[in-house]
């Protein structure tokens, strides 16, 4: 199984188009140790030929341009793609908007939870992907699903999905009730376990997660590799950076640091390799020379960068 991180930033990317915070400025200036990143997506392949994308980010065109393995092969038909399927972990803009760039009547399959499929259904713009050409399939929770292309051929990639604490996409929130529970685990956000047909060497991809509970810790215990929500380093980071009013918790994202953070919450779980992904443009770990980056590394974590590849 090959896994390639094609987009390691959170929604907005890094630098974000309208962001003038010091980190986005440093990325634009080409400061050593501060690398630009595209929005949230990974790709997996069991045979090195057919690929399954996990999330379709608004940057997908650039991501394909930067990954030869996701481009049409030299000897392939005039219109073709090695992308056989796209699995969605929620309906956030940074995870579904890229579907619109995959139009042109090109067959592939979409897999998502019932909630996310309902959101695609309710937004007619997604009909640019004609369901008779791009089938939409249910990723039933807690089941191991063999991912198949539009033609029904198995890709060799098997995905198990499970609800994680999170919330609905921002544009689906109703009323903005500050007292609402933004870390419910009803399936608006899922985590996925990615493996080959033999089920071994599982990679877990959980780009959004509001809280670490006993169920999640148990589930992650056989992970060869975990790619986990690294949106913010501290819960109030966007407020102290003076770029927004929301905490990480309000956005459905657990912080890396602190007693209730992910580093502490997963410290005693046996995981082969742990990597933060979906990193927001306010997160100080984006600067490789920061104390926060050093702290994360010292705790045994890596910080994802675009183009990172793994083989299991
Ligand atoms: C998130 O991860 O919380 C969302 O991508 C935020 C957004 O929609 O901008
Ligand atoms: Mn996001």
pLDDT in the model for residue 25:
98
pLDDT tens, position by position, 150-165: 999 999 999 999 999 9
10 lines ligand 1 (CB under 6 A): yes
Percent of the chain with pLDDT over 70: 99
- Residue 86, CB half-sphere, CA atoms under 13 Å: how many? 29
Q: Which atom of ligand 1 is nearest to the CA of 231?
A: 2
Which tens digit of pLDDT belongs to each residue from 266-282? 999 999 999 999 999 99
Per-residue pLDDT of 195-207, as tens digits, reads 999 988 799 999 9
Dump pLDDT digits (tens) for 122-153.
999 999 999 999 999 999 999 999 999 999 99
Report pLDDT digits (tens) over 63-112.
999 999 999 999 999 999 999 999 999 999 999 999 999 999 999 999 99
- Which residue has the CA at smallest separation from atom 6 of ligand 1? 11
Over the stretch 29-76, which tens digit does the pLDDT of each residue have? 999 999 999 999 999 999 999 999 999 999 999 999 999 999 999 999
Which runs of E-coded beta strand occur in 10-163? Answer: 41-45, 51-54, 83-87, 109-112, 136-138, 144-148, 154-163
Q: For residues 13-28, b (16+ Cβ closer than 10 Å) or e, as one string?
A: bbbbeebeeebbebbe
pLDDT band at 179 (very low <50, low <70, confident <90, very high): low
- The residue to mutate among 55, 56, 93, 119, having the most atoms of ligand 1 within 8 angstroms of its beta carbon, is 93
| Amino acid 178: pLDDT | 56
Prediction pTM value: 0.97
pLDDT band at 176 (very low <50, low <70, confident <90, very high): low
pLDDT at position 112 is 98
Angle 66-230-17 (CA atoms, 0-180°, nearest 5)? 55
Structure tokens at 250: 């309000």
Inter-residue contact 168 to 188 (CB < 8 Å) = yes
Distance in Å, CA 253 to ligand 1 centroid? 9
Evaluate if residue 288 carries a pLDDT over 60: yes
Asked if residue 181 has pLDDT above 80, the reply is: no
């Amino acid at each position: 199984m090959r896994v390639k991180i094609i987009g390691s930033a959170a929604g907005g990317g890094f630098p974000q188009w309208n962001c003038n915070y010091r980190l986005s400025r440093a990325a634009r200036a080409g400061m050593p140790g501060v690398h630009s990143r595209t929005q949230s997506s990974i790709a997996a392949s069991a045979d090195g030929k057919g690929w399954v994308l996990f999330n379709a980010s608004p940057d997908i065109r650039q991501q394909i341009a930067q990954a030869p393995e996701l481009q049409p092969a030299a000897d392939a038909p005039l219109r073709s793609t090695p992308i056989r399927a796209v699995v969605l972990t929620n309906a956030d803009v940074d995870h579904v908007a890229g579907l619109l760039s995959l139009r042109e009547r090109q067959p592939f399959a979409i897999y998502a939870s019932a909630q996310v499929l309902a959101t695609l259904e309710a937004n007619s713009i997604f009909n640019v992907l004609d369901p008779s050409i791009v089938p939409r399939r249910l990723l039933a929770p807690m089941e191991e699903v063999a991912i198949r292309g539009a033609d029904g051929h198995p890709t060799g990639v098997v995905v198990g999905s499970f609800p994680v604490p999170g919330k609905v996409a921002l544009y689906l929130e109703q009323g903005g009730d500050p007292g609402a529970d933004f870390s419910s685990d009803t399936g608006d956000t899922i985590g996925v376990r990615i493996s080959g047909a033999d089920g071994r060497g599982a990679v877990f991809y959980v780009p959004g997660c509001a809280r670490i509970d006993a169920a999640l810790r148990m589930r992650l215990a056989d992970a060869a590799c975990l790619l986990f929500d690294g949106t913010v380093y501290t819960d109030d980071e966007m407020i102290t950076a003076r770029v927004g009013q929301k905490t990480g918790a309000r956005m459905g994202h657990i912080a890396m640091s602190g007693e209730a953070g992910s580093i502490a919450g997963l410290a005693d779980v046996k995981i082969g390799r742990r990597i933060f992904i979906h990193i927001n443009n306010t997160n100080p770990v984006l600067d490789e020379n920061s104390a926060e980056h050093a702290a994360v590394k010292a705790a045994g974590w890596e910080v994802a960068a675009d183009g990172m590849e793994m083989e299991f």
